[in-house]
Amino acid sequence: MHAGTLAHPPPGVVSVAPHGPGPRMERTRWRPTAPRACTAAILLLFAAAFSTGLDVPFERDEGEYAHAAEVLASGGVPYRDAFLQKPPGIVLVHAAVQSIVGPSDAATHAATLVSYLATLALLASVARRLGGAAAGPLAALLAALAFLSPLFEPWPANTEAFLVLPATVSYLLLVRGWDSGRGVSGSGSGARASVAVAAASGLAIGVASLFKQTALAHLPHLLAGWALLGHDRRERLLLAAAFLAASAAPWLASLVAWASWGALGAFLDGVLLHNLRYVGFNPEGRFGEMLARRVAAASLFDRLLWAAGVIGALALVARGRRRAAFVAGGWLATAIVAVSAGGYFRGHYLLQAVPPLALCAALASSELPAIARVPALAALVAAWVAAWPVPLGVDAAARSFARYGGMRFANGPSIGRILARDAADRGLSTLFVLGSEPQLHHYSGLRSVTPWVILSPLTGGYADSPARQEAAWRDVEAARPDYVVVSVPAAVPTFRHSDFFLWERVVDLVRRDYEPLGKTSALHRGVMRPGPDVPADFVPDLWIFRRRDAGRASSEAAPASAEPSALDWPPTRPSPEELLEGNPPPAS
């Protein structure tokens, strides 16, 4: 008898062999309602835990997408009127939420929760098809714990939070195709995989890549999976063609849309050309340094999960679980390639690997006897509980501070309210942020005078960074924005090799033509009045300025001319030591 088979299955459990020849793989099937009830309970508990942080204010990436969605809603064109380096899928999600409930942090984060819940449910289905009933809820549990782990930065409504759903759909359709056709090992029984299902799988991965380009790393693996289903050369070509054509459809539609708006060049610049520079040169550090930094930030649970996933994939290969090894192991391998692009290893980049990590660990553990499987699972859960990444009894600002180590994002709504009230009182409408803080445009409703609401393409040291800075300065100089917000001590992000052309000119403009309206501290809530009266632990963060000759409330007298020394803010560019604090030297 092959290892792993059940000679005398207990009542309610039957042995099931996969399609196709090769080593016999055994799966256990519980009573039909048990695994589904377990999965449903996991989803409910996950929803309850995730919901505690729905009202946390947007961080800068979310602000970027929300601002682009507002540009789109007002008749503008993202990429041309608001620079982006992500494909338009995430903008459409933010736009859809805004059109239904209006601007709402909580509603947008609720959409993120819905994406995770659907991903967990579909991942359980994939695991159940590949490893039996017990693997389904186990995969859902491990992924749910990861979707609550700070290492993966799962809470913001970022691209990866929505990418994981259509990617999981694509892999589920591939497994369904194999169930109805033939396995990777050769001939089999049952109906052949349909062209329609292959096309649906291709469309799903195409949609995933419309959230972030790294989803395309899965495309060759999925294409190979569909090609292996064909009974002959003609059928393999037909399935592959259907998959590829459907995967290209979302991109073709996007290209046609932006071409019709006269913004195809800006679209390609943001989505393709700048991203090639972004992954080709990392101004933040070398590949190994960035990876080591991310590993150091991992909790015991995170490390155990990664180890379980990788070891699980190897175990599937070693045990001859060819179909499971191909799907789960290939999915994980391509996800690792995707999250490694550019060597940044940001936490939310790792979200793309969560479903295959959980799947590999669940499939491998389902091979273990209960005496080994239960302690292994208990160790993972205990490690997660020990870290306890879901704070209870704290408000949104405290959660934001805990996540990001400062109050910049938590103070975004306060800054926005002050700017919006002042602008409404004076009839003003424009804002420039010398920093990558597009969420301030979102919260204030003020129009940017330049498409450059994020500055990384300008300060990252790329070949075209100087030209982009000059273009941004022309926009600012011509528009003379009503308000300027300055990130202190320097625009974010800046590095030792950054060009300070834009910084120096905007600083000169502010000192000459603007008056201070308020300032924020990295350690305190709310906006403080200008002047030296600040808490002892005040840490400069954002300075808010209004143009002196901007519209004035009817009851307000004209302010006296302010000398530069009275502005109470750092007038000089930061030193190399300030820039290097928290930023390693660039890769050579």
C-alpha to C-alpha distances, 124 to 43, 132, 188, 313, 572, nearest whole angstrom:
11, 10, 25, 17, 56
Average pLDDT, rounded, for the chain: 86
ω into residue 535 within 30 of 0, thus cis? no
Give the CA count within 13 Å in the CB-facing half-sphere of 508.
9
C-beta separation of 92 from 73 below 8 A: no
pTM exceeding the 0.85 threshold for the entire prediction: yes
Q: Does residue 198 surpass a pLDDT of 70?
A: yes
Query: pLDDT tens digits for 103-116?
Result: 999 999 999 999 99
Evaluate whether 573 touches 503 at the Cβ level (below 8 Å). Answer: yes
Q: How many CB atoms lie within 10 A of CB 371?
A: 7
Alpha-carbon gap, residue 512 to 564, rounded angstroms:
7
pLDDT value for 139: 97
Please, which pLDDT band fits residue 492 given cuts at 50, 70 and 90?
low
Confirm if 139 and 123 have CB atoms less than 8 A apart: yes
Cα–Cα distance for residue pair 351/139, rounded to 1 Å: 15
**Rounded to whole angstroms, how far apart are CA atoms 86 and 169?**
21
Cα–Cα distance, 300 to 438 (Å, whole number): 34
Reply yes or no on whether the pLDDT at 574 is more than 60.
no
251 contacts 210 by C-beta, under 8 angstroms: yes
Place of tokens 């800068």: 60
**Sign of the C-alpha dihedral computed for residues 378, 381, 384 and 386 taken in this order:** negative
What strands, in cross-sheet order, belong to the sheet with 483-487? 447-448, 430-434, 483-487, 540-547, 514-521
pLDDT greater than 80 at residue 321: yes
Give the integer Cα–Cα distance in Å for 358 and 144.
Answer: 9
Give phi and psi for 517, each to the nearest 5.
-110, -30
Contact indicator for 3, 25 with CB cutoff of 8 Å: no
Q: How far apart are CA 102 and CA 575, in angstroms?
A: 42
> Is the CB of residue 59 less than 8 Å from the CB of residue 409?
yes
Is the model more confident about 583 or about 290?
A: 290
pLDDT confidence tier of residue 383, bands split at 50, 70 and 90: very high
Q: Is the peptide bond before 493 cis (omega within 30 degrees of 0)?
A: yes
pLDDT of residue 356: 98
Sequence-separated (6 or more) residues with CB below 8 Å from residue 221 = 330, 331, 333, 334
User: Is residue 538 packed enough to be buried (19+ CB in 10 Å), middle (13-18) or exposed (0-12)?
Assistant: middle
The strand pairing partners of 518, in sequence order, are 544
**pLDDT tens track for 203-239:** 999 999 999 999 999 999 999 999 988 778 888 899 9
Mean pLDDT score, 341-368: 93
Predicted confidence band at 10 (pLDDT cuts at 50, 70, 90)?
very low
Q: Would you say residue 202 has pLDDT above 60?
A: yes
The three-state secondary structure class of 135 is helix
On the 0-12 / 13-18 / 19+ scale of CB atoms within 10 A, 222 is: buried
Considering only CA atoms, which of 448, 435, 438, 409 is closest in space to residue 64? 438
What three-state secondary structure class fits 365? helix
pLDDT for 39 equals: 96
Confidence of residue 393 (pLDDT cuts 50, 70, 90): confident
